[in-house]
Amino acid sequence: MRISRLVIVVMLALFACYGITLAEEKPDLRKIRAVVSGTPIYEGEIQIELQKILPGSFHGTMSAEKLAEYEKKALDALVEQELLFQAAVAGGVNPDKKQTESDIKDIQKNYQSKKDYQKALELTGIAEKDLAHFIERGRYASQFKKQEVDDKVKVTDDMVKAHYEQNRSSYLKPRVFKVSHILVKVPPTALAEEKAKLKAKAEATLKKLKEGANFAEVAYADSDDDTAMVGGQMRPFHEGQTELPFEEAVKKLNAGEISGIVETIYGYHIIKLHEAEERRQVPFEEIKDKIRKNIEEKERKRLQDELMNRLRPKAKIEYSPKG
């Protein structure tokens, strides 16, 4: 597996946002944060790993506590990766030096000059002499993990079917309702007199509907809810997803019927039921792929945990504070 493109992307990303996604005070990127059986892991490597695991919505605004939590995850990932790499080497894997040299040349081609390339390395905290190990560690750790974990995950059709049969009750789809509603919003601070006026407004609206007014048109004109723009139509929801008084009122309706005034914490509602899909057993054919994936994920985690529990006691891992 070639990872040179990933290294390039991470380097460039770090180059572009250095001082924004990193901590406010620029850390010493050559500070050793951990030593795994003699091999150091530097602060710069943690910052690179951090770019890969930070949420996509992160734009430089994160509390120090939360950032420290993600940095710990990044360090843990690198320690695990180093353990896997060392196990691969101990198991007879010899890093392909020619491939590594080719990867480094590919990286260098993405910079206009040797000076730009060295500047990018400087910003990442990876010394040129360490770049080969940075590349090889990721590649061979990934290969070793595939060999010892991914390739050993075996989930048969019989296992998937047996899981479904043993957990049939977990694959019951709840009732789903499709409704429209009109809301007369009541402020939480409303006093009795104001609430009475708002309820009278809701009752006047209900009267119009009973006299034959079009529900969608009345919702557009009178509802205080955002759904007014679409005639009061809500997204389909299942049991347990709405306020209890709202749900209980919906359950009493037949398709096409309109409720009376229903009070919730939001105010006074008038509800029209369009359709109610009854609770049903999800067929095996419909859910089997998801079951297989869940079983595979659990088995992969079990094998991964077993592997790391074998490797950690054999290694000497020393941590240093960030400061």
Q: Are residues 200 and 126 in the same domain?
A: no
Measured at the alpha carbon of residue 148, what is the angle toward residues 144 and 152, in degrees to the nearest 5?
140
Indicate the burial class of 278 (C-beta count within 10 angstroms; 0-12, 13-18, 19 or more). exposed
pLDDT-based confidence at residue 10 (cuts at 50, 70, 90) = very low
Element (H, E) at 116: helix 114-124
Domain that holds residue 265: 175-278
Average pLDDT over residues 301-318: 96
Cα 219 to Cα 206: distance, rounded to the nearest angstrom: 11
Q: In this structure, are 215 and 243 located in the same domain?
A: yes
| Cα maximum dimension of the chain | 84
Could you tell me if residue 113 is inside a domain?
A: yes
In a domain, 165, yes or no: no
Q: Provide the 10 A C-beta neighbour count for residue 109.
A: 11
Question: Is 194 contained in some domain?
Answer: yes
Looking at the structure, tell me whether residues 202 and 141 fall in a common domain: no
The answer to whether residue 222 sits within a structural domain is yes
The rounded distance, in Å, linking the Cα atoms of 201 and 184 is: 8
**For the chain, how big is the Rg over CA atoms in Å?**
30
Give me the chain's average pLDDT, please. Answer: 88
Residues 106 and 10 in one domain: yes
125 and 220 share one domain: no
Same domain, 9 and 122: yes
| Other CB atoms within 10 A of residue 256 CB | 9
CB 6 within 8 A of CB 148: no
If DSSP codes are grouped into helix, strand and coil, which group holds residue 215? helix
Q: Do 132 and 184 belong together in one domain? A: no
Dihedral (CA of 57, 60, 61, 66) sign: positive
Q: What is the pLDDT of residue 28?
A: 86
The amino acid present at 244, given as its one-letter code, is L
Q: Are 69 and 50 in contact (CB under 8 A)?
A: no
Considering the domain architecture, whether residues 137 and 199 belong to the same structural domain is answered as no
- Starting at the earlier edge strand, list the strands of the sheet with 32-36: 39-42, 32-36, 317-319
**pLDDT above 90 coverage of the chain, percent:** 63
Q: Which residue has the tokens 């009070």?
A: 263
Segment 198-221, tens digit of pLDDT: 999 999 999 999 999 999 999 999
Task: Check whether residue 8 and residue 150 sit in a common domain.
Answer: yes
Residue of higher predicted confidence among 108 and 219: 219
Contact yes or no for 103/4 (Cβ under 8 A) = yes
Contact 268, 183 (CB under 8 A): yes
Section 221-229 average pLDDT: 96
Token duo for residue 177: 């309702």
The encoded tokens of residue 241 equal: 């997803």
- Predicted confidence (pLDDT) per residue in 147-174, tens digit: 999 999 999 999 999 999 999 989 998 8
| pLDDT exceeds cutoff 60 at 245 | yes
How many domains does the chain divide into?
A: 2
Q: At what angle do helices 131-148 and 97-109 cross, to 10 degrees?
A: 120
Contact of 219 with 182, CB cutoff 8 Å: yes
pLDDT tens profile 39-98: 999 998 998 888 888 876 565 677 888 888 999 999 999 999 999 999 999 988 877 888
Task: State mean pLDDT over 229-256.
Answer: 95
Q: Can you read off the two tokens belonging to residue 216?
A: 């969608």
In a domain, 106, yes or no: yes
Per-residue pLDDT, 93: 81
Q: Round to whole Å and give the CA distance between 277 and 177.
A: 6
Distance CA 241, CA 176 (A): 10
SS3 category, 41: strand
Classify residue 309: in a domain, yes or no: yes
| 261-308 per-position pLDDT tens digit | 999 999 999 999 999 998 889 999 999 999 999 999 999 999 999 999
> What's the confidence (pLDDT) of residue 123?
80
pLDDT tier at 15, thresholds 50, 70, 90? very low
CATH of the domain at 57: 1.10.4030
Q: How many CB atoms lie within 10 A of CB 93?
A: 16
pLDDT tops 60 at residue 17: no
Claim to verify: residue 151 and residue 9 sit in the same structural domain = yes
**Same domain for 179 and 140:** no
Residues 107 and 142 in one domain: yes
Residue 196, domain member (yes or no): yes
